[in-house]
Amino acid sequence: MKIAIVHNAVKDNSLPDELDVIKQAKAVAISLANLGHTSSFVPCDLNLDALKHQLARIKPDIVFNLVESLDGHGRLIHVVPSLLDALKIPYTGACAEAIYHTSHKVMAKERMRAAGLPTPEWVNPFPYDLPWIGGMHSAIAEPVIHNLKVTENESEKIWIIKSLWEHASFGIDENNVVAGTREIIAGVLEERASELGGSCFAEAFIDGREFNISLLGNGKKVQIMPPAEIIFKDNESNSPRILGYKAKWIEDANEYKDTPRSFDFPEKDGELLHLLKKLAIRCWHLFNLGGYARVDFRVDHNKKPMILEINANPCISPDAGFAAAVEKGGISYDAAIEHILNDTHR
């Protein structure tokens, strides 16, 4: 087949997580060649007309969609697959609607909560006039805490401040973990929004273990890859145990070195791992995912899992977590790419 590898264009001043898309594109191109396909790189930006003309010239059988943002805005991640739908060009990974619903983190949480899936409580984002699932619209003067019992000593509640749209732990470090009342949190959200992609929300911080489950479709069924746990090695530190931006992307940072992933578990974790797999599969079907995905969890000290995020098209660099999970599951990188091609959205 003739395959166009479409990815977001990067700049000289792009952040490490943005630059990683080039590594992904090159790895995919090598695998496609190994599988007997021809491919071409198609970087894209906000000029969708130019992208449309490039695709018309190439006439690909399939687009391998690696677009993670446009012009540095993660909230535009669904635009290119929407264009591909309009052009009737098949593409890999999740459909445009699934990408949109999972990228808006609060919308995803609303949908999970409605389906009975466990996700941490949250405070509505700043700014508040944002669209909500089901056509509802928020127009309130202060944030709302969802499904959280208010106690007399509300100041003891611990929250983590997150970007509403940006993924890859964008903007997250230990300063994002904040204790306080809803009034304090409202001020923090307003203060941090500009540095977190323009919109942010607060999520109840789960002090415990962190896991992720990678999923791989093949056009017939979805396969669950071996669960991975992020190990927080610096047990003596008073810093919160989080997988922040440095831990994911800055290789010479202590946070990166102190948070390796592990696929080795004691027998006593068997029941918990089984539950995580069941929850991951439910997310796959709830959001109508396709090709490949990753579901991130935190598990509290009572072994209660909470779903943090659904990554519809996670990073597939050869050194990233998804590739590691696939390899652990006995599937080569080339074979995984072939599975993804077989689960193309049409």
Residue 233 sits in the same domain as residue 330: yes
Is residue 99 one of the residues assigned to a domain? Answer: no
Q: Which of 314, 318, 112, 320 is nearest to 216 (CA)?
A: 314
- Of 159-163, 172-176, 198-202, 245-249, minimum mean pLDDT range: 245-249
Q: Is the pLDDT of residue 268 over 70?
A: yes
**285 plus 335 within the same structural domain:** yes
In this structure, the strands spanning 305-311 and 292-299 are antiparallel
225, amino acid identity? M
CATH value at residue 216: 3.30.470.20
User: How confident is the model over 15-68, as pLDDT tens digits?
Assistant: 777 888 999 999 999 999 999 999 999 999 999 999 999 999 999 999 999 999
Place of tokens 């396709």: 290
Sign of CA dihedral 165, 167, 172, 176: positive
Q: Is residue 111 part of a domain?
A: no
106 in Cβ contact with 164 (< 8 Å): yes
Residue 100 maps to a domain: no
Strands 38-44 and 2-8: parallel
pLDDT digits (tens, 9 = 90+) for 101-118: 999 999 999 999 999 999
Q: Which residues pair with 42 in a beta bridge?
A: 6
Band of pLDDT at residue 84, cut at 50, 70 and 90:
very high
Contacts with 104 (C-beta within 8 Å, 6 or more apart), sequence order: 75, 164, 165
Do both 157 and 247 map to the same domain?
no
Alpha carbons within 13 angstroms on the beta-carbon side of residue 112 total: 27
Per DSSP, the chain holds a count of helices (H) and strands (E) of 11, 13
139, 170, 204 — which closes off a domain?
204
Residue 216's H or E segment, with its range, is strand 209-217
Task: Give the pLDDT mean for 156-176.
Answer: 80
The number of domains in the chain is 3
Q: 24 lies in a domain?
A: yes
Bridge partners (DSSP) of residue 296 are: 212, 309
pLDDT tier for residue 235 given thresholds of 50, 70 and 90 = low
Cβ-contact 305, 261 below 8 angstroms: no
* Two structure tokens written together for 60: 């690909």
Amino acid (one-letter) located at 143: P
Q: What is the pLDDT of residues 57-83, one digit of tens each?
A: 999 999 999 999 998 888 899 999 999
110 within domain boundaries: no
Q: Are residues 338 and 214 in the same domain?
A: yes
pLDDT band at 140 (very low <50, low <70, confident <90, very high): very low
User: What average pLDDT score do residues 277-304 get?
Assistant: 97
Same domain, 273 and 332: yes
Residues 268 and 331 in one domain: yes
The reply to whether 101 falls in a domain is no
How high is the mean pLDDT of the chain?
A: 88
How many Å is the Cα radius of gyration of the chain? 20
Residue ending a domain, choose from 204, 234, 255: 204
Tell me, yes or no, whether 113 lies in a domain: no
Q: Are residues 333 and 216 in the same domain?
A: yes
Mean pLDDT of 151-165: 76
Domain hosting 80: range is 2-91
Mark out the alpha helices in the chain (DSSP H runs): 16-34, 48-58, 79-87, 96-103, 105-114, 182-192, 245-249, 254-257, 270-286, 321-328, 333-342
Task: Quote the CA–CA distance of 124 and 130 in Å, as a whole number.
Answer: 9
